[in-house]
Every structure is written in structure tokens, then in C-alpha cells.
């Protein structure tokens, strides 16, 4: 009988064996639970940092917009300009004042505007330099090209035109502030978008409004969030 069912001593040893396995499983469960809690805490900490950065980004956007608006509120109408709160784009939207038709040479009137605008613009943004990724001078055109041109020909003609205009604006602004030349070279870019970002009114292109030059302040919030994620 002892051979068939095992002795009472063997039964007792078996119970001790299963008790040890149960203790081991309980211990492993505690380890996994601890790992899960640590992971959740780290994830929450990471999410909190991103949330704080997002809030700081929004506050910074508002602060820059309000600073620009306060500085230029009395100039916008006479310059034919407006400030976009969402993109922080300072848009000059009087194309006839900026450049002659199909030309990249700044008009005398636009030079006078830049003489006043550019130094003040750089001064307003000075307290926010650490939060800026770049300042982009953006050139935009309507979709119209030279007479008889195809749609593709018009697009690339306007690309050259918009790029030439923003380069002219940047070069002129650069000459106005020689003491800031290093910062300007490192921070301000001239970009031509051709007719890729048209202004539409009631479903149709507004050609006059589409022809514009914008100064856009771009913050580095996405870079800061990326650094937070990489540091985890």
C-alpha cells in the first residue's frame, strides 16, 4: 500500500513542495506588480511633463502674440497687415505696396515699412529667443502665371518669384541690423511657397489676399517634447 499510494512522509514532503511553489508564484506576482506600478508611474510622469510642456507652449504662443499685437496695433491698418494668433504669422497683405508685378525688387514704400517694422519685430521677440526654433519669412503668390503658361509652369514660376521676394526682404532686414547679423543668419530663413497656400473666399481663390509676405515665429515646443521622450 505504501508503495502504491506513498507513505505519509512522502505526502508531507509533497505538501511542503507545493507550498514552496505557491510561495514562489506569489513572489513572482509581487515582482510583476511592482514592475507594473513603476512603469505606470514613469508613464504618468512622462505624460505630466508633456502636459506641462504643452501648457507652457500655449502660454508662450499667447505671450508672443500679445507682445506683437501690443507693439504693432497702431501700424497694422496703415501697413495692410494682420497677425494670425494661431500661427504667429505677421502677414503683409498689400502686394502692390510690397513689390511691382512679377518683380522681386522691394518697392520704396516697402523699404520704408521694413525700416520701421524689422528692428521692432526683432526687439519684441528678443525675450522669447530661447523658445524659438526659427523665424521664417514666407513668400506666397496667387495661382496666376505668365500668359499662356501651363499650371505647372505657373507654379514653378511663382516659386522662383516668391523665393526671390523673401530673399530680398531678408537681405534688406539683415542690412538694417548689423549687430544682430549672427543671430539673424542662425535663426531667420527665407522660404517661397508659390501658390501652395492660397487664401480662399467663398470657395474661390482671392488672388489679391493670396499674394503676401509673412514673418512667422516658430517655437521649439516639439523639439522640447522630443527631448523629454528621449530622456526617458
pLDDT digits 0-9 by tens, 104-134? 999 999 999 999 999 999 999 999 999 899 9
Residues of the chain with pLDDT under 70: 1-28, 30-31, 34, 36, 38-56, 222-232
What pLDDT was estimated at residue 223?
62
User: Domain extents for the chain?
Assistant: 50-229
Q: Which CATH number fits domain 50-229: 3.30.1330.60, 3.40.470.10, 3.40.190.10, 3.90.960.10?
A: 3.30.1330.60
What pLDDT was estimated at residue 214?
95
* CA end-to-end span of the chain: 63
What pLDDT was estimated at residue 97?
85
Which pTM was predicted? 0.73
pLDDT digits 0-9 by tens, 139-161? 999 998 888 899 999 999 999 99
Amino acid at each position: 500500500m505504501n508503495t502504491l499510494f506513498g507513505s505519509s512522509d512522502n505526502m508531507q514532503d509533497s505538501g511542503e513542495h507545493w507550498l514552496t511553489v505557491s510561495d514562489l508564484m506569489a513572489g513572482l506576482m509581487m515582482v510583476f506588480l511592482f514592475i507594473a506600478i513603476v512603469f505606470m508611474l514613469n508613464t504618468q510622469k512622462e505624460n505630466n511633463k508633456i502636459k506641462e510642456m504643452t501648457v507652457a507652449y500655449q502660454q508662450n504662443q499667447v505671450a508672443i502674440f500679445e507682445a506683437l499685437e501690443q507693439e504693432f496695433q497702431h501700424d497694422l491698418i496703415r501697413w495692410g497687415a494682420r497677425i494670425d494668433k494661431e500661427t504667429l504669422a505677421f502677414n503683409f497683405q498689400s502686394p502692390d505696396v510690397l513689390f511691382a508685378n512679377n518683380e522681386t525688387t522691394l518697392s520704396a514704400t516697402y523699404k520704408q515699412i521694413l525700416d520701421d517694422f524689422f528692428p521692432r519685430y526683432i526687439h519684441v521677440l528678443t525675450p522669447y529667443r530661447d523658445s524659438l526654433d526659427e523665424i521664417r519669412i514666407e513668400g506666397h503668390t496667387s495661382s496666376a502665371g505668365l500668359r499662356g503658361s501651363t499650371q505647372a509652369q505657373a507654379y514653378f514660376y511663382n516659386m522662383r518669384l516668391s523665393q526671390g521676394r523673401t530673399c530680398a526682404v531678408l537681405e534688406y532686414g539683415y542690412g538694417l541690423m548689423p549687430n544682430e547679423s549672427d543671430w539673424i543668419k542662425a535663426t531667420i530663413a527665407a522660404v517661397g511657397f508659390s501658390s501652395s497656400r492660397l487664401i480662399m473666399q467663398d470657395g474661390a481663390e482671392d488672388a489679391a489676399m493670396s499674394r503676401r509676405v509673412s514673418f512667422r515665429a516658430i517655437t521649439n515646443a516639439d523639439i522640447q517634447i522630443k527631448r523629454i521622450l528621449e530622456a526617458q
